[in-house]
A and B are shown apart, each in its own frame.
Chain A
Amino acid sequence: MGFWQRFLQLDRKWIFLGIAIVVIIPLIKPIGLPIKPTKPVIDLFTYIDTLGPESGPVMVVTGFDPSTMPELMPMEQALLRHCLTKGIPVISFGGLYPAYIGMAKMAIDEVSADFPDKKYGEDYVFLGFIPGVSAVILSIGIDIATTFGNDYYGTPIDSLPMLRGVKNYSDISLVVDVSGTSTPEYWLMYAQERYGVNIGVACTAVSAPAYYAFLQSGQFVGMMGGMKGAAEYEELMARKGYPTGRRNATIGMDSQSLAHLLIILLIILGNAGYFIVRRGERRRGIIRRKR
């Protein structure tokens, strides 16, 4: 058996080890590769950056569970930090499915701890899970207080100072769905199309290609796609001098860069081996036929 044949039968534990090394090392010692923001992220950032304390609140919807947390949690935290830095009132909505509420709470707890001057109920509120998915989106368009009744902690919506005068989408500046599923389409169909509210999207890299059409049509104001989108948002925040926290996405991008490089190298070597072995087999076949 030749080298390439042996190489093609490489035990996968070596590949696993390689991936583990290229992921872990940059997390311990970040390389600091430069981040270049792209248009969809700049659009979302700019839209939020033009808002202020007098604007209507921004609703940040948590649409992910821990499985997509490394990609989406930095996005949610960056959005919350941006809004709180600018003094924009924030409605953190725990999501359309029960698995998401823990992620929403984790994000708001961590970010609000960095803004001790911001008060719950005045600068930000946290709305819990309500069953209904599309019905909840439609119902917010009618009346937020009737839809939720109380916030996550059981406080009646009417008694939260920030939500006085906020009845439905017409009083909300922007809804950003931070989603690991197809929920941005629900927000598009039921909130944007029916009530005309502006929608921004923060989604996993694998979902991003599905939303470019809606970006081009102007139905989404902007988009963060994958961890790279989150890193770009963090970069835009840093350029403006806003507090960014630990910049988890930026650090994660170093790992992702090296992991992608390794996978590409494996694909190239795998194909090289495949063609070399196949050519060798063909040659041997020709020789046999000649004999």
Chain B
Amino acid sequence: MRRRLPVIIAFGIGFAMLIQYFIPHPRSEEFYNVIVQQWFIIIYAFMYIFALRSFFMHHITKVKKKKEGYIFSAVAMVSVLFMLLSGLITSRGPFFDSLYNYMIAPLQGTMFSLLAFFIASAAFRAFRARNVQATLLLVTATIVMIGRVPIGDYLWRGMPDLVEWIMTVPSMAAMRGIRIGVGLGAVATAMKIMLGIERSYMGGE
């Protein structure tokens, strides 16, 4: 029953929502409103509670067993609790805003900005014209990189137009093909979940 019940719920709700889309009857609209405005949002809110529980369970275990890097787990838990309490106690006041603006924002910004340095280093070491495909990628990437910044236009007037052509013709054609594939895959996966063929979302094997 632990496995059958979620499949029945997934099939029931999934099929009901699918059918509802094509029925513009007031009862059908009412059903849609209740599902979207109440059930979905309540379920999503519970997901955050489970996420917090999972977060603390994982890190408490790490600290208890003194696994490698457990000190970072302790810091992570203290940070989450501190942020949570500061928001609750100050009712998201200036102190809470300051924590976000002057701690989280610079820390995250710094982490992400490191990418620029590593990309430059990786491009120098690994971006090689070893074969035709790699050469094609390298040449296109170089044109797009130079054409997507003002200096490209400064060096050659036609550069932005060439880049726009790359983006709107070959790149877009490839993306469209990928998206059609992804869309068909998503429909197939949704059907498999509704019919109980795909059950990995329930955990386990």
Partners in one complex: yes
By the criterion CB–CB under 8 Å, are B123 and A209 in contact? Answer: no
A264 engages B146 (CB within 8 Å):
yes
- Tell whether, in the assembled complex, residue A266 and residue B48 are in contact, meaning their CB atoms are under 8 Å apart: no
**Chain A binding surface SS class:** helix
Ranked nearest first, the 5 interchain pairs of A and B with the lowest CB-CB distance are: A135-B40, A33-B150, A66-B108, A257-B151, A102-B100
Q: Count how many chain B residues have C-beta atoms less than 8 Å from C-beta atoms of the other chain.
A: 52
- Stretch from B8-16, B71-79, B172-180, B190-198 at the A interface: B172-180
> Would you call A102 and B120 a contact (CB within 8 A)?
no
Contact with B along A255-280 (1 / 0, CB 8 A): 01111111110110111001000000
- B residues in contact (CB < 8 Å) with A: 33, 36-37, 40-41, 44-45, 47-48, 97, 100-101, 104-109, 111-113, 116-117, 119-121, 123-125, 127-129, 138, 142, 145-146, 148-154, 160, 164, 167-168, 171-172, 175-176, 179
Partner of B117, one of A15, A147, A264: A15
In the assembled complex, A106 has its CB within 8 A of some CB on chain B: yes
Most A CB contacts (10 A, CB to CB) among B48, B116, B142, B148 go to B148
A220 CB, min distance to chain B CBs, angstroms: 13
Count of inter-chain pairs, beta carbons less than 8 A: 158
A209 touches B150 (CB 8 A): no
Q: Kindly list chain A residues whose C-beta atoms are within 8 Å of the C-beta of B111.
A: 67
Report the Cα distance A216→B171, complex, angstroms: 13
Contact B119 A261 (CB under 8 A): no
Q: 0/1 per residue, A209-226, Cβ < 8 Å to B?
A: 110110010000000001
Closest chain A residue to B39, Cβ basis:
A135
Given the complex of chains A and B, what is the CA–CA distance between A134 and B36 in angstroms? 9
Docked CA distance A74–B116 (Å) = 19
The 7 sampled A-B contact pairs (Cβ below 8 Å) are A19-B117, A33-B154, A98-B48, A135-B37, A209-B172, A270-B127, A270-B128
